[in-house]
Amino acid sequence: MVVIEVSNLRKVYRVPIRGEGFWESIRYVFSRRYKDVEAVKGISFRINKGEVVGFLGPNGAGKTTTMKMLVGLIKPTSGKVRVLGYDPFTRHRDFLRRITLVMGQKQQLIWDLPPIDSLRINAAVYEIPEDVFKERLKLLAEMLDVERRLYQPVRKLSLGERMKAELLAALIHNPEVLFLDEPTLGLDVSAQISIRNFLREYNERFGATIILTSHYMGDIEALCDRAMVIHRGRLIFDGELYELAERVMPFKALYVEFKGEIPFEDLQKLGEISEVEGKEVKLIVRKEKVFDSVRYIMDRYEIDDLTVTDPPLDEVLAKVFEQ
């Protein structure tokens, strides 16, 4: 079932031009000139029910603009958007009850009140019956491990605890589609892992569709099978994560720790020596030559350890944008 359908979506902003100097400042006040800046340039895609999709790109690529058009906060300049069959910009009541938006740099909880008060306000807004509210509150609080924090003022919570409470507030009405913009922004590693585990469990338990943007590649690798890469307003990749790495960086890294001397000349015949630290060598080889390279090394040399890894996703994306 298609939940989100986007066709030739564009967003153009009209931006005033301001030159330097006194006379340009006068001109800017009385006779402004403008230029069109195309933030999103005709992108198209479909997302099915239950998918967890990573939306990737550098700062200014158009990710957040696209996300805001999908939830109806920004009206597209042209193109078609349908989420759950609705035009998001009409802000239909039933549409708003079936989605949620979480932005890591913005909060909906009231700073001086405990989260439970904000949760009760949300329950009233969405007209959730009391028994349903209590049942869902108990379930989500247990999944997020924040039961004991719901009655403390928000300002006394750690950033990780606050983010968990924000997620609870955003999900209390049982939305079908989750738009998450940098949900782990600024969190420490432990809190990031906790949020990832919760989102994975939530998706598996409720079949929710999740669209996620993040600068932490760990979020994308842990949660998403599918990735969309946007660059300068254009969708330049839409597919599985491994396909992206296969297409851009078709190699693997071999970490080999030798017992004796490092055979540099032989290793250079197999691939590129990337790093050397003590007795450990990082060797970059073509993916189709990995098996033969591993067998060659193990047959000829005494080693303490050998590990084969894929290139890190952040390196893959850096290569994409560079090309």
Say whether pLDDT at 311 is over 80.
no
Give the pairing of strands 99-103 and 78-83: unpaired
How large is the greatest C-alpha to C-alpha distance in the chain, in angstroms? 79
pTM for the model:
0.81
Q: Are 187 and 200 in contact (CB under 8 A)?
A: no
Residues of the chain with pLDDT > 90: what percent? Answer: 54
Give the pairing of strands 209-213 and 33-48: unpaired
Q: Are 109 and 172 in contact (CB under 8 A)?
A: no
Say whether pLDDT at 37 is over 80.
yes
Say whether pLDDT at 84 is over 90.
yes
Burial class of residue 275 (count of CB atoms within 10 Å of its CB; 0-12, 13-18, 19+): exposed
More confident residue, 32 or 196: 196
Q: Are 208 and 180 in contact (CB under 8 A)?
A: no
Burial class of residue 174 (count of CB atoms within 10 Å of its CB; 0-12, 13-18, 19+): middle
Quick one: CA dihedral 206, 212, 218, 223, positive or negative?
A: positive
Say whether pLDDT at 184 is over 90.
no
* Of the candidates 104, 89, 88, 77, the residue with the CA atom closest to the CA atom of residue 4: 88
Three-state DSSP string of 297-314: HHHHCCEEEEEEECCCHH
Say whether pLDDT at 323 is over 70.
no
The pLDDT of residue 253 is 86
Q: For 156-164, what is the mean pLDDT?
A: 91
Within 8 A by CB and 6+ apart from 313, the residues are 217, 220, 221, 241, 245
3-class state of residue 154 by DSSP? helix
Q: Within a 13 Å sphere around the CA of 221, how many CA atoms are in the beta-carbon half?
A: 15
CA distance 300 to 292: 12
The pLDDT of residue 219 is 87
* Of the candidates 131, 2, 12, the residue with the CA atom closest to the CA atom of residue 74: 12
* Of the candidates 275, 274, 278, the residue with the CA atom closest to the CA atom of residue 261: 278
3-class state of residue 21 by DSSP? coil
**What domains are defined for the chain?**
2-8+44-245 (3.40.50.300), 250-322 (3.30.70)
Q: For 151-163, what is the mean pLDDT?
A: 91
Model pLDDT for residues 243-279, shown as the tens digit of each residue: 877 777 788 888 999 988 889 988 998 988 888 988 8
Confidence of residue 220 (pLDDT cuts 50, 70, 90): confident
Q: Are 208 and 182 in contact (CB under 8 A)?
A: no
Cβ count near 310 (within 10 Å): 17
Confidence of residue 180 (pLDDT cuts 50, 70, 90): very high
The mean of the pLDDT values for the chain is 89
The pLDDT of residue 234 is 93
